[in-house]
Structure formats: C-alpha cells, structure tokens
Structure 1
Amino acid sequence: MSGGNVTGTREEPDESAISPVGRRSVLASAALAAAAPVTAAGSGHAAVAAGSGPAAVAVAASGPAAFAPDGPPGVPGCGAVARLLAVPESGRGATWLRSALQVAVELELATIPPYLCGWWSVVDRRGEAARLIQRIVGDEMYHLGVVCNLLVAVGGRPRMRDRAPIYPGPLPGGVRAGLNIYLSGLTRSFVHDVMMAIEAPDEPLARTRHSSPSIGDFYTDLLRAFHRTAPRLSTRGQLSSTIGSDVLKPVRTLDDVERSIEIVKEQGEGTASSPADAFHDDHPAHYYAFAEIYHGRQLRETSHGWQFTGPAVPFPDARPMARVPAGGWPHPPGDVQLLVDRFDGIYNDLLAALDDAWGDGGPRSLGTAVRAMRALEDPAVRLMETTIPDAPGNYGPQFRRL
C-alpha cells in the first residue's frame, strides 16, 4: 500500500438490490509498491504451457467445523483451505465466506514480505527486473485491500497482526503443500523456488485430484460461493485506496465481487488465462514476470509456442542477504539487534494499523499503515548491508510477529 492524500467516507450498508454477474474484467493496471496517494472510503528458451482453467479439488464432504482455520501453533490457517473446500456447496453460506476470506487475507499478506526482501536487496532499481518486482509488490498490496473489503462486505473483520505468517514456513491455509517460503535477497533460486512457486498457475503444474489445493482452486470456489449465496453486501467499513494506478473501491454488487476476484487471479495467483491473456496493458501476470527474471529474457509468442526469447532481462546485482533461519537471527551483534528490533516494531505497528483500518480506524489508520510501510525500508536495507560474522551473506529483515 502506498500513501498520500487521505480522504473518503465510511458508508452505511448498501441496501440496493444485487445486480446480476457481469462480464469478466480486464486486468487492472500496474500498481507501484511505494509513493502513490492513498484515499480511503472505504537466457534460456524454455516454453510455457498456456493455462486453460483451474482444476477442482475433489475432497470428502464434512461438517461446518471442518473449515475452522485452526492448525499447529504458529502456522495460521494450516490446512484451512482443504477443510473449506471439503464443505458441500450447500453449506457454503455467509459463515463459510467469512472463514474463506480470512484465509485469503492471510495468503495475500504472506506474499508481500518475501517480495519486498527481493526488491529491497536490488542495488540499482532502475532495471527491468527491479521494475517487475516493484509492480508485483504493489499488486499484492492491492490484492490485500480487495480481500479485506470483501470480508468486511459480508460482515467480517480482517485479522492480520495475530495471523501474520512466520518465515520460513508454508503458505497459509495449506495451499501448495510442501512449499517452504523463506526470506532472502534476490537470487535465481529464490526467484524460482519462492516467487514463481507462490504464483504458479494451475495448468503448468502437474497436479492430481489428490494434490493440495492451489490458490486458483481456492479463489474459484470462493467466487462460486458468492454466486450461490448472493449475500447482502454492506459497504460499511470498506475502504477506497489509490495504489499506484490501481484504485481499490468498495464492493457493492456481485459484479464488483467477480471483478475483484478475477483481477486477483489474473494478475498473479492461480491465473486461469494463457500468457496472451495475461499481457493486457503490457504487464505479464506475476508468474510469467518472475519467470522472465529467472530466464533472463522476456516471454514472446513464437511459431513453437510461448518461449523466453524476447529482449534481455538482466539479473540485477543484489545485496547478499542470507536466508533468515527459523526463529530469526541467533545472537546478532548489538547494532544488528537494534536494527532487527526497530524493523520488527515498525512491522507490528503496520499490522496493527491495518487491523484498525478495516475495523474502526478507517482512513486515518490506513494512512498510519502507509507511513509504517515506507519506514520499513531503511532498517531493512541497513541490515542487508551488514555482514554476518563467520558466515556467508548478510543480515536482513525477519518480519517477526511480536
């Protein structure tokens, strides 16, 4: 989320009739990661298979208790998506929607710290790779706002501070089982094993009906539940925010719901479109953008299909931030500990402000979150420029929940 002119209103519930579902929206325009106004109202030549559509996950039906977002301590929502998708469609009412949307909040939140680490580590951010990552960070902040608005619209309240992810660890909700999300500076392995793995669309992955659910599966079923339930959508407590050139708006109708979820899917997570469909406004979906960085070439359609044969995308010089170990940096020097504590304090203030923004705080709390977001970069970069004694690499931010 980026900040600036904070204006807006907090609206009463929208009592108008819900309109029929409309056409699919085009991709939203690029959002920058920092420095945009906020208002509130609420050279490998590898080929890429074109995605066709999300595969439904067939799981045994169970009762409503199955979708309670519980799990092992410190792993928010572990397995929650599988439990949510196990509930029969007849049981997917307003309570199910609120549980599912809370998991969506956690999923979107979980992508931002690793992407920020990759972006902050780049020494010269004028290059194509840095530009791609910066846009994606902005998109993820926009997506977080979208799912928070959707949750508020159906009577819920987003929880972030006590449900923030712990790194290294799995994605919230049990999606992409086996994927370990860690924090590191930008390397090709980090791009491939973390960034591309998070965003991978359904079709390029070899998955079976017994595989863990993907983010695409989850959002597809979420939209289907909105259609079936057709809940009354309240605008009370929703926010409006300008994020780069994307504009977050309150959702009032099922058309708005569909548009919001399709944007989230097509911009990155679980996109069901082909690379051609993902290139609206010249912006590749997140998976393909990260793949361009990994392969060092832009993606182009050729007579042999989609291949990374376009202009070069040079891999940037990056500060050698080492992987943050489980539990954080052990026994760092005093000056490093001060930076770590400063960063974690600001991060927790940010999470608290986001909780308040979709609670009772509204635009003012959102502005506080924006300022905290900007304040994270200085201690993060200073850590990334500090060598770890007797070990390879440099320190970096932990994004530790206090």
Structure 2
Amino acid sequence: MLKISPQFVNAIVNAERLEELYPLLQNAIELEHATIPPYLTALFSFKPNTETAIRSIIHSIVIEEMLHMSIAANILNALGGKPDIANPNFVPEYPTHLPMGIGGSLIVPIEKFSRDLVKNVFMEIEEPEEPLDLKKTFAANEITTFKTIGEFYMALQAKINDIAPEILPGDPAKQVTSEFFPSDQLYPILTKEDAINAINIIIEQGEGTSTSPVDEEGEIAHYYRFQEIYVGKELVKDPTAPHGYSFSGPEIPFDESNVLPMFPNTKASMLPAGSQERRQVDLFNQSYSDLLYGLHRTFNGEPGYLNNTIGVMFDLRLICQKLAETPFPGVEGYTIGPSYEFVKVGAHSVTP
C-alpha cells in the first residue's frame, strides 16, 4: 500500500490554524500529480489502436488523478492558500519515491506497460488500508508502521471539520470548474461541507469503501481497476462472492507484442546534443512544462485558463507517441521514452 510517514498525518492532527494545513495540501497536490506521468507513460507505450480495454482503464484512472489534483488545489485555495505548480521542485525526478515520505522499497519508474508494473507499482500506489479479498487474487501486505493516503485525507477532512469556519475564507473567484469533469465532482469549494464532500470523492475513487470495491456512484476504485488488468478479467457483481464482486467478467486481453520497447527512465541528457531525437525529448519537456505553467495560472486566479491546458495535454500525447516509436540512438532494441523534466523559461516566469 502507499505508506506515508506518520509525521504528515500527525501534522494534520496537531494543526490549530488553517495556515498549518497549507503545506500539507500542497503535498497532496504534488502526490496526485506524481502518479500521472507513470500512468500516462504506460498508456502511451502501446502501439496505436491496440489494447483497447487496458487503455480505457488506465485512461479513466489518469482522468480521475487529474480530478483529485484539481480538488486538492481548490481546497487549498478555499482555505486561503496558494497552489505552487510551476516549480522545478514540484516535479519528481523519476525513478523516485513519491512525495510525503513514502516508506518501504517502492520506487516509481517511468517505463513501458507490463502486468508486473501494474501489480508491483500501480496497485501498490493505490492499495487501500484494508484491501478487500475478492476471490483471494493475492494477499495484501500487512504493514502498520506507516499511514495510507486514505488516512491522510481522512485526517485532513476531520481537521477541516474541526477548525474551519462554515464559510471558508478563500477567494471564491479562484475556484476552478470545467466541462472536462462532472459538475458533481469538480465544483467550487466554498464551505466546510463542500471540502469534506470533495475529500470523500478522492478517497472513494482511489480506494473504494471499507466494504465494497466501488464508490457510492458504483464506479470501481483505482486499486481494483488496476487489479482487473493484472488478473485479466473484469470485476463484476457476484452475489456468491465476498463483498458481492469477483473477477469473473469478460476477459481483458493482453498481447505483449503490442507494447513498444520504450527505454526506461529516459533523460534528455542521454540523447546526443543537437540530434533530432534530443529535440523531440526537449519538445516533450517544453510541452510538459507549459502544462504545469498553465495549471499554475489556472489555480492562481485564472480559472478559465484550464481549457488552454487541456489543449496542451493533447499535444503532449502526440509528442510522446512519436517518441515511443523513435529508435533510441546507440541502444539497440529500444525506443525513446518521455522524461518529464521541468524546463524553466524566462518567458514563462510566474510569481508563485
């Protein structure tokens, strides 16, 4: 499971002022973002028009991680803080531990899709505190030294309920909504109740509930969607199974030959200076940085700018797909992977 150092949960529990929650919500924004590049890379590593079922699952999870990042930023704004996204320190240097003192041996890479990656990394990231045993697919780790991301969010929820005023002090004009997300999931956080309900969305979409692998809307939580990919079967209702669900639905096929041989953890410095391949990686990093600058503007007073960032996301996908089909110079049998390196450009200077 995602094992967070208990100091972060303790910091929430001991907070006496809303201002003390600002860095913790910033950590949450960074964590939600940090999962997106690994998931996107696995998604982009498939050959075009293949592995439709797996693509659909991963794509849906990426969209919800973007939603969770947006919710966390809205809550930070609602409490009176300022999200800091256009910052080199915001971007993990993959392969890496995730933000917030992740414990254990979990290292998150940027690499091509494999079922082992899904089981050993993606499911580890999304694993709830007490995974439901659905036909005993495989055992959950029993580690109690660390806290989970669910516990972090529940502590945050309880603290907001305890110390925040009913009407939150942040500027309502900074709240971000978008047609890209359902209006009942990304909405203005104006009250204490709004914040509490929004945190429930993050917890349930990631982990499910304590008694079911689906959230209150009947959507399968991230952990169990990744488990579908690993098991190779859809999770469906099954009244004879524990918790009413089992991996007994239609097959989720996977043909390993449909995965491009993307070089793991590519860095721009690995490519020859001045080469076409290096320019492609530099272009990817520039677009990725443009996206972060755009999100910073969006969550710091220009909520309408979100539509511009969505356009950049599509550009990023096209550039990454081209990279994944380009042979890696000097490394036989590999193509180039995306590197997700922050590019600080004077023209993009942003005052956090």
Same fold? TM cut 0.5: yes
SS in 1 for 2:179: strand
Query: Does the alignment pair 1:290 with 2:217?
Result: no
1:315 pairs, out of 230, 235, 254, with 254
Alpha carbons 2:174, 2:301 under 8 Å: kept: yes
Query: Does the alignment pair 1:360 with 2:301?
Result: yes
Name the aligned partner's letter for residue 293 of structure 1. Answer: I
Aligned to 2:193: 255
What percent identity do the matched residue pairs reach? 30
Query: Does the alignment pair 1:93 with 2:17?
Result: yes
Q: Please, which runs of 5 or more residues in structure 1 have no aligned partner?
A: 1-53, 58-78
Query: Does the alignment pair 1:187 with 2:114?
Result: yes
Q: Please, which runs of 5 or more residues in structure 2 have no aligned partner?
A: 132-139, 344-352
Alpha carbons 1:118, 1:185 under 8 Å: kept: yes
1:386 pairs, out of 302, 313, 326, with 326
CA distance in 1, matches of 2:223, 2:93: 23
In the TM superposition, residue 284 of structure 1 has moved relative to its aligned partner by: 1.3
Structure number with higher helix proportion: 2
1:200 pairs, out of 101, 119, 127, with 127
Query: Does the alignment pair 1:166 with 2:93?
Result: yes
1:146 pairs, out of 46, 68, 71, with 71
Alpha carbons 2:129, 2:148 under 8 Å: kept: yes
1:120 pairs, out of 28, 39, 44, with 44
SS in 1 for 2:32: helix
- Aligned pairs (5 A) from 1:2-401: 82-87=6-11, 89-123=13-47, 124=49, 127-162=52-87, 163-204=90-131, 205-210=140-145, 212-231=146-165, 232-233=167-168, 234=170, 235-245=172-182, 247-268=185-206, 270-278=207-215, 280-281=217-218, 283-300=219-236, 301=238, 303-305=240-242, 306-315=245-254, 317-325=258-266, 330-332=270-272, 334-364=275-305, 366-388=306-328, 389-401=330-342
C-alpha RMSD of matched pairs (Å): 2.5
Name the aligned partner's letter for residue 310 of structure 1. Answer: G
Alpha carbons 1:103, 1:172 under 8 Å: kept: yes
Question: Aligned pair in 2 of structure 1 residues 90, 338: CA closer, same or farther (>3 Å)?
Answer: closer
Aligned to 1:15: none
In the TM superposition, residue 245 of structure 1 has moved relative to its aligned partner by: 4.0
Structure of higher RCO (CA pairs closer than 8 Å, 6+ residues apart): 1
In the TM superposition, residue 295 of structure 1 has moved relative to its aligned partner by: 1.1
Question: Aligned pair in 2 of structure 1 residues 387, 358: CA closer, same or farther (>3 Å)?
Answer: same
Name the aligned partner's letter for residue 113 of structure 2. Answer: L
Normalising to structure 1: TM-score of the pair?
0.73
Question: Aligned pair in 2 of structure 1 residues 251, 323: CA closer, same or farther (>3 Å)?
Answer: same
CA distance in 1, matches of 2:106, 2:126: 12
Alpha carbons 1:164, 1:401 under 8 Å: kept: yes
In the TM superposition, residue 385 of structure 1 has moved relative to its aligned partner by: 0.5
**How many residues are matched?**
321
